[in-house]
Amino acid sequence: MEELDGNAAAGMLSEVFALELTAARGRCDGCGNIAAVGEARVFVDSPGLVVRCRNCESVLLVLVRGDGRYWLGVQGLTWLELAAT
């Protein structure tokens, strides 16, 4: 089982986000930690992409891809700070 970091999620996230996400900072709704998505703990060998807070391990974001549909869960993020340029 590979535990990687947010860089490994970038490709799949680019399928649903127009803005680059790994440089974006997010606030973990579980512990309040603020960090770049690139620093998160990412599980790619999975039925879906699971992004977890490096500080408290709670789930920040889940992306499931199947037969032409995506399910995006972002409940674990209070917010994401995205740069437009």
Partner 1 sequence: MAGAAVLGRLTWRLAEVAGVVAQTMRTRTLVLEIDGWSGHRAGQHVDIRLTAEDGYQAERSYSIASGPDDPRLELTVERIDDGEVSPYLVDEVRQGDSFEVRGPIGGYFAWSPDDGGPLLLVAGGSGVVPLRSMLRARPRDVPAKLIYSARTHDDLIYRDELSALGDDVLLTLTREQREGVRAGRVDEDLLRDETFAPDEDPRVFVCGPTSFVESVASALVELGHAPERIRTERFGPTGR
Partner 2 sequence: MSPVSRGFRGRSRSDAPRDRVPPGQYVTDDFPVLSAGPTPHTPLDEWTFTIAGEIDEPRRWTWDELRALPSEQITKDIHCVTKWSKLDSEWEGVSVDTLLDAVDTEAEHVVAFCDGGYTTNLPLDDVTGGKAWVAFAYGGEPLDPEHGGPARLLVPHLYFWKSAKWVRGLTLRVDDEPGFWERYGYHNYGDPWREQRYWGD
Asked if 18 is part of the footprint of partner 2 (rule: CB under 8 A), the reply reads: no
Site mask, partner 2, residues 38-57, x = CB under 8 A? ---x-x-xxxx-x-x----x
Single out the residue of 67, 83, 84, 85 in contact with partner 2 (rule: CB under 8 A).
67
- CB-CB contact of 66 with 43 (8 Å): no
Q: Which of 14, 17, 13, 7 is nearest to 40 (CA)?
A: 7
What would the x/- binding string for partner 1 be over residues 9 to 48, using CB under 8 A? Answer: -xx--xx-xxxxxxx------------xxxx---------
In a 10 Å sphere around its CB, with 0-12 CB exposed, 13-18 middle and 19+ buried, how is residue 18 labelled? exposed
